[in-house]
Structures are given as structure tokens and as C-alpha cells.
Structure 1
């Protein structure tokens, strides 16, 4: 027993000596090499990066918001309208460049096309030089065909989307909703409407696909005085407003833009070709012919893009686009392009969605349709959104959410006539806002009878005095 006690005391003494030696040789770096130590280091580094990112974010916000610091104010939009539109121009074009996919199978499946040699300047077809006289003769032989029922010059609204299904089904769903919106507006304002899903020229892909389409519309509809192009990602949000076409006189092209950005600063985003009006005339055919050589897919478009980047302020290096080419022609081409182009800025032919969608409720509480400007935007344009892109991203989720709100904001103006409205701008559900009447056409007026109750009698158009 004595021996066991002695051995235990000896072991305790050895353990204490080992602990003292371990404490004597301990260094923090040894702990950092353990799994637990590495985890602590990783946590500390992450915390440092978070603080640094937060500091940088504060600096950026202070620079963006100006002297007001981090106070957002009553409006969720803190950037000037003009800067918003500049951003939207850039997003629109670069998004189309990114999504441009050659569709050679669709383009050549049914029609045998003439092969372009790639050396001679590209053309949209046979040169026409007497289109004005041809139209004049045609209209003389078909009197009244170039007028609407109300006597106004006939206008053709043209839009379209890709011939193949979207990778994201939600993209096709909102293409359908936006198509319904265009049909409603055309019906309300007595417009002809053409929606295209075909590839007319395989060399002219992406944003250039509109050129051969517009030329076909002009030549096959001599009765139409104006062609109105609208991108597939734009939607009418003022269903009452009509463009004052008499205001534009002899102008042949009406496009949204800003004079100082275009003529003074010579910026490539001085105008926007997402929604514009083109008169059906020889001048317009000539313009399409001059634009066409910039557009064929491949080396020609790439080299043309280098020219446009060199000549236009702040244009990134990418292939030629129709908007930049139009700016180039107005600034540096034949003076007739500038002379007959009207830069419209009073009405929102191009209302950048990030500027307008968050103000819909305020607009409804303070104003009414019919203005066409920032009080009630004529067109809301979802530039930068990629509804056909597969995969759920925060950007796409926000685009779809605001597309739904924009559609319902416009659709309420249509449904109101029938006594309905959406329960909320973000909901597809509807609710009744007015009871049906036995006098829907307003042909009767209420008159009290002998019992004191009112009854409806026919209100004749001719009064007793006139009879």
C-alpha cells in the first residue's frame, strides 16, 4: 500500500513537471495551426473584410447621394432623371449584345437566301429611288385608304420577339402580357398592329433585325403614313395619351433623346431607339439603306463598332449597334439626317423603368392618365432586364416583379371601363369596382313617377323645342 501511494505521488509530480514545461514552451502561433485556431483566423479575416466593404459602401453612397448624406427623402429615386436615362441606354444596348445568338436554322429553314459575299456593302434589297411617287400614285388609286376612321393619318405599330421559346418560361409569359398591352393600346387608338416573330435576314441579328422588318412594313403597307417601332421589353403605361403628330411638321424620324447629350457632348446615348416613329417615305428608305452596312453579323459589325467607339463619346468597345450608328449619321453623316430628325424629350417615349415603376402609387394618388410625361409615363421601358435568361437571380426577380406592376398599372386603365381593377399592382387578381347598370349606354335618364320612385325613360336626341 505504501508503494502505491509513493507511485501516485511520483506520477503527480511528473504530470506537473510536464505541464510547466508545456506552459513554458507555449506560443500563440502553435494554437493558430490547430483546426480551431484556423477557424478563428478565418472569422477574424471575414469580419475585417465586412468592415472594409461597409466603409467603402458608405463612401460610395455619400458620393452618389450628395450633400444629403444617407437620407433618401420622399422618393426612392436619388439619381437625376437624365443620369437614369443615360444608364438605361447603356444597359439596353449591352444587354442586347450579350443575348445576341445567331439563329441560322430558323432564318434559312424555309427560304433560300442569296449569299452575301462579305466584301461588297451589305444591302437590304434592291435600291428604290422613287418611293414617294409610287406611294402618291397608289394612294390616288385607293382614296381614303391612308386615313383612319376618324380621318387621321394611318399608323402601324410594329414590335416583336425572338422566334424560339425563352429558356425561362416566365420570359414568354411576360412577352404575352406585353403583347396584350400593345393590342389594347392599338385598339383604343385605332392603330394598325404587326407583331413579328420571324427572322427576315440572317445577317441582321440582335438589334439590327428591326431594319429589314421596317423596310418590309413600309413597302407592303403604302397606305400607312407612320411606322412606330417598339422594343419587346417596353410597355404602354399611359393608355390615354396620344402623340401629337401634328407637332412634328415635316420631320421624318421622331426619337427620344436630349439635345445637349447628342449635339453638344456627342455621346452615343444621346438618343434611344427602343421606341421611335419613322415616316413611310423615300427619306426613311434611304436612312435604312445607309444604316444597313453597319449591321451584318461578323467582322463587318465588329469593325464598324471600332469606328463608332472612336467617334462617339464614352462608347465602350463592342460591335456596332443601330443606336450608335444612328447617332453617328446624325452627327457626322449627310446633313439631311439631322435636318429631318426630331429629338423628343417632353414625353416619355422611353421611360426608364427604375425611374418610374416605384412611383406608380404616388402617380395614381396625385394625377391621372393623359400626360405622357413623368406625371404619368407614356412608355415604361425595361432596359437591362433579361426575361428569357434561365436561372433565378435577384435582378430577374426584381424585373419580373416590376413588369407585373407595370402591366397591372396599365391594365387598370383598360379594366376600369368594364367596372374592374386589380386588387393591387403586384397582383393578377381583380375586383369589381362598379355595379352593372340597366342603362350601360347612357341612353336613358331617371324621372320620378307618381309613386315617388324614379323610372328610366328614353332620352331622345331631339328636344321638344326642336321638334
Structure 2
């Protein structure tokens, strides 16, 4: 009969102790390694300018800017003067956002401050806003949503003018304000604005020259559409908004302007002035002052009424389906080749 090995039990205990020690050391090494990399990641994240907040990236300058002017007013009734110079100085003092400012676009949209009478209305507005956010995300634009009524008299379609002026002053880092009505929906998410063709203009609006600058018989209050337009952040635009607003509800001659516009545009059904017919009137009455810097876009549909737009959806759907089938066939062939 073999004698029992007295070292068997102590050896087993030693191996267990050694294994446990190695496991603890390995666990500590993993924790330390993970903590080190997490620390490095967080440090790099919060020191990266892209991930900083606006207040971090744009520290207050010790030198004063137009924001320090005690007489500064965002009111559409008080014209902004020397805006180009003030904006240029602000950008010079904030170089972190000055780079690329000449190409920066801010989409501006909004709704009334009160809920819709029907809850489905609020739901649809949320859906249309999500549509705009997605478009901006794809193209790298910032978007600003406003539901504040900035002037008690400037309501309905006139409410956009105080909002646009205030946004220009609040965001001197952007070159263009892209006003988009709340009920507008982007149907081509891949479309990119041809900004190069607008480089010599300050206002881009969908319209037709013959209906804006043509003779009286051709003039129409629908010669352009102010539901969606691009306006440059500059003094010219500040002057335009100021003159434009003077034809609106803040004017003492509001009803008189309505009569003038009604007699000018034979197809205008309602008597009071609206922002659209008022802009057309300004363009053809002072073409040298306003028209020369306004681009009436008619080469593509910058906007379109939905009834006319949906008619072409079936053909567009067929084109996309054909493209998807071609891509699918290519993928299959590529996989077989590999």
C-alpha cells in the first residue's frame, strides 16, 4: 500500500493562493489601465474645441463690443447703425468663431407661443421641426427655434422680421440667416444650397422677375414667396428689415399701405398689408436700392406649395427605387468577386 504524500494538500493550497494572487493582480492592472484610458479620453474630450460649449470657445473679450452699449436695442423699431463695423470688430475679438464665419448659416424657424387649438397641430409642428433638425444635422447648419412674440403689434406673418433682426444681433458669428416657416418641410434631404451663386447678393428668395419687376398687368402678390428665404447678416439687411417693417402693423399708415398694395396687385384678395406684397413693392419701387442685391431664385424650387410638389413624388420614388436596385446589384457582384 502506497504511503500518502504529505505535500499534496499544502501544494494544492499553495497553487490556489498563487492563482488568487495572480487574479487579483490582473484585476488591479485592468482597473488601472481602464482608469488611465478613461482619464485620457475625458481630458481629450473636454479640451477639444469642438466639444466645448460656446461660452468655453468664445470667452468674453476684455475689450468692449456692441453688446456693452447701454443704448443697444433689439427692437425692430430702432434701426441698427454701423452693423458691419460692429460685427467685424466682434469677430476680430473672437477668432475661434471668426474662421469660416463667411460661410456659416443659421436656420431660423419658430411657432406661436401658445399651443394649437387642436393637439394634432402641435404634433405636426413637432414633426416638421424634427425634419428641419435632421436637414441641419446632415448639412452642418445650426438651427434656432423661436416661440417668443418679440413685438406686440408684429403678429402673424409680420412676426418674422423682429425675430430675424434679433437673431442677426445675437449671432454675429453667422453670415446668413435662413428663415424657414414652421409648416415648411424639406423633401430632399440631400439638397445643398448653391451659395456660390449668391455671393454678390444679400437676399435670396424664390420668385419670378417678370412678376416682380414687370409691368402692372403682370405684377402679382405671389411673385415671390417669403415663407423661406436667405438673408445676409449685414447692414444692408438691417436697413431692409427696418424699411420693410414700416409697412407693417407698427406703422401709423398701416391701412393706407393696404390700399396702395391692393391697388398695385390686382390679385391681392385682402385689404391689409402683408410681408410678401410689401417686399415686392419695395423691390420694384426702389430696384437700385433693394433689387440689385436681391436674387430671385427660379432655377429650382427653393419652396413649393405642397399640392404641386406631391404630384412628382411618384416619379421621384421610382428614380430612387431604381438607384437602390442598381446599388444592390453592384453589392452582390462585388461580394461574388471577392
Instruction: Provide TM-score, normalisation by structure 1.
Output: 0.51
Q: Which has the larger radius of gyration?
A: 1
The answer for the alignment partner of 1:214 in structure 2 is: 164
Indicate the SS of the match to 1:145: helix
CA RMSD of aligned residues (A): 2.6
Q: 1:147 to 1:320 in 2, by over 3 A?
A: farther
Sort the Cα spacing of 1:364 and 1:124 in 2 relative to 1 into closer, same or farther, 3 A. same
Equivalent of 2:286 in 326, 330, 333: 333
In the alignment, what sits opposite 1:294? 247
Name the residue aligned to 1:170: 120
User: In the alignment, which residue of structure 1 is the partner of 2:331?
Assistant: none
- Residue 299 of structure 1: how far off its partner (Å): 6.8
Partner of 2:79: 127
Alpha-carbon distance between aligned partners in 2 of 1:292 and 1:228, rounded to the nearest angstrom: 18
CA apart distance, 1:229: 0.3
- Where in structure 2 are the equivalents of 1:61-76 lying within 5 Å? none
> Quick check: 2:97–2:173 contact (8 Å CA) kept in 1?
yes
Deviation at 1:197, TM superposition (A): 0.8
- Compared with structure 1, are the counterparts of its residues 337 and 134 closer, same or farther at alpha carbon in structure 2 (3 Å cutoff)? same
Per the alignment, residue 145 of structure 1 pairs with: 97
Determine whether 1:243 maps to 2:243. no
Q: Give the aligned partner of residue 108 of structure 1.
A: none
Please say if 1:192 is aligned against 2:145: no
- Report the secondary structure of 2:185's partner residue: strand
Pair 1:181–1:136, CA change in 2 (3 A): same
Report whether the alignment pairs 1:276 with 2:229. yes
Q: Counterpart of 1:353?
A: 306
Q: Deviations over 1:137-166 (max 9, x none)?
A: 111222251455xx8711100011111111
Any residues of structure 2 matched to 1:423-434 within 5 Å, and which?
Answer: none
| Matching residue of 1:343 | 296
Aligned residue among 178, 187, 208 for 1:228: 178
| Structure 1 residue 315: Cα displacement | 2.0
Q: Partner of 1:236: helix, strand, or coil?
A: coil
Secondary structure of 2:272's partner? coil
Structure 1 residue runs of 5 or longer lacking an equivalent are 1-122, 369-412, 414-432, 434-444, 449-453, 455-467
1:249 deviation in Å? 2.2
Deviations 1:80-117 (A, max 9, x none): xxxxxxxxxxxxxxxxxxxxxxxxxxxxxxxxxxxxxx
Question: Equivalent residue of 2:289, what SS?
Answer: helix
Distance in 1 between the 2:196 and 2:309 partners? 27
**TM-score, with normalisation over the residues of structure 2?**
0.69
Is the 8 Å Cα contact of residues 256 and 276 (structure 1) preserved in structure 2?
yes
> SS where residue 172 of structure 1 aligns?
helix
Gaps of 5+ in 2: 1-74, 329-333
For the 8 Å contact 1:147–1:153, the answer to whether it is kept is no
1:344-391 deviation line (CA, Å, top 9, x unaligned): 0112111111012133122111258xxxxxxxxxxxxxxxxxxxxxxx
